[in-house]
A and B are shown apart, each in its own frame.
Chain A
Amino acid sequence: GAVVSQHPSWVICKSGTSVKIECRSLDFQATTMFWYRQFPKQSLMLMATSNEGSKATYEQGVEKDKFLINHASLTLSTLTVTSAHPEDSSFYICSAQKLPASGSPLNNEQFFGPGTRLTVL
């Protein structure tokens, strides 16, 4: 299978602190990982695309200086929410793209981590 883990699974912090979330692909290498945010009763919104060894690509409206992404290895990407505020409280989910075997049409199959629930007081 393809397993993606996230750590921590939940975190509560004070306003103004920074929080780091880790995303790991446990049994495969992922050159590309994605970070999503999901507010209650809403769908997943892509925040950024993280490529190993290069700068992340952020979606429009996502502040790159506030959401720092590092993808230092083929199995680990981190998202740091800097100076978190209550409006940053959300469910943060990462996914890792598993490249298909030759000839497979599953070009974009992604595997999602279990998510991190962030609550900023």
Chain B
Amino acid sequence: RKEVEQDPGPFNVPEGATVAFNCTYSNSASQSFFWYRQDCRKEPKLLMSVYSSGNEDGRFTAQLNRASQYISLLIRDSKLSDSATYLCVVPYNQGGKLIFGQGTELSVKP
């Protein structure tokens, strides 16, 4: 099992749609999780942190299921500007090492 595995993309959705991405992780000791957004040819930017059962920020909701070792990201009322690659990130240890998923590309069309 890969350390961090995401839904393969790309996801092509119309504006206003709701889209969900899933991510599974192998290290059951992981305590915190992150979703990053990466635009083409740019650095990743932190979208949300998750360290309890979930987190919500406007149109974005992240949920954590520790028993099944998966994290999800839900985007409601998607906008054209949401088009990007979404990276699921899991800390490897307390030393700061991060393991990145392969990313899920989202394309929101008019």
Minimum C-beta distance from B90 to chain A (A): 10
Which residues on the A side are within 8 Å of B98 (C-beta)?
34, 46, 95, 108, 110
Whether A114 touches B43, Cβ cut-off 8 Å, given contacts A108-B32, A109-B49, is: yes
Cβ 8 A contact of B44, one of A49, A105, A112:
A112
B interface, size bucket = 20 to 34
Contact A108 B102 (CB under 8 A): no
Instruction: Assess whether A73 is interfacial by the CB under 8 Å rule.
Output: no
Main secondary structure of the interface of B (DSSP, over half): loop
A106 vs B34: C-alpha distance in the bound complex, in angstroms?
10
Contact B43 A108 (CB under 8 A): no
Whether A32 touches B43, Cβ cut-off 8 Å, given contacts A43-B100, A44-B100, is: no
Interface string of A85-121 (1 = CB under 8 A from B): 0000001010101000000011111101111010000
Cβ 8 A contact of A107, one of B44, B87, B91, B100:
B91
